Structure 1
């Protein structure tokens, strides 16, 4: 951001932006900025004219639930990649603390889209979680976009899933739920196939030449209804499922 106050030009933003304005950085400010970044703080630079004169060190504490949520995702076999617009030092400090597998810092919205495209091109299925306006294009480009309910409307509209509480542990719960649903679908298909494989020939009279057994239409109809009830009952088990995450 740049503006003019009382005839003096001011610039506020990340270091790379201030550099594009031709500003010089005093050694003491560079040292302070580096120390703040090493402490996992985001540094905003202020330049007056062609000289950097101040920094703001902004801290965004890690959510208390984040370490446990990330550990659960690792247990589920998920590889975690951090994609942030923040500086390298801050990103690596936080990423290493949380045991993130891969860290990409200083990314623009376009860079995030490219990262997702590269991951998908390598054969990976990519889920992207984010809450900001800058995350919206990447959320839309991922196989599954996950927005935080506490985030921006643009991010929520671009995502496929919205975590109402904005808690990272919701991602693990969503994965566990989806796996349980797919497992239940396969079970239902298997049960329906076996049931029909056995029931249709009997209803057609395959046993009649050997045992004289025939099914009346009433019994056959009841058996068909029972098949549907068994599938529905199995599906309803999902309502009682308890998730670890």
Structure 2
């Protein structure tokens, strides 16, 4: 395979020609076949080679899969496991942080991502007590300013596990609180900031309607026993003990 690659590069870069002929041909090739496009295919291919969880057997097939719009353009949102299953094996979630950084740099992957998938990833990061991943996913959600990504539109997961339902309802409410906090200090989801004329118009965030119907847990659920400081939050209202500082970053 390496030998074939070397042969391809030999002809692709016109190495069989003197430099005075080679460089004009390379510039012509770049005009006819630009490597930089709005789809970011070149960077997507480069980052696809670094994906490890799960590893991609062929980065070219991975990028082609991003272009394949069937059966639907948007990636499906699969309900994650209950909290205690994730808490028992948090490394399965934590090992995804590096890969998610690569994936978020791919315009095609982001275009096919959905708010429900981001919300589920945030839930997994929360149950795994991965503060860095919570921060990254919260910021990623915040920077999507389209109406589709409004917090009020987070769909009801309809969990059968009461602990999972309580965690997700509280998570949605904490996400709204953290977004409202950002709005209060002058930030906006579209990137506008407060200027000489004052703060730009505010588009308020609201909790999804389904969260109001999720009751508190009968037994206490401690997400991260290592957290020593707890403050009032929607989690505590549902008898879930955890800190929420990683949601409040700028």
Classify the TM-score, shorter chain: under 0.3
Q: Is the radius of gyration larger for structure 1 or structure 2?
A: 1
TM-score (norm 2): 0.21
Q: Which has the higher contact order (CA 8 A, sep 6+)?
A: 2
TM-score (norm 1): 0.21
Between structures 1 and 2, the one with greater strand share: 1
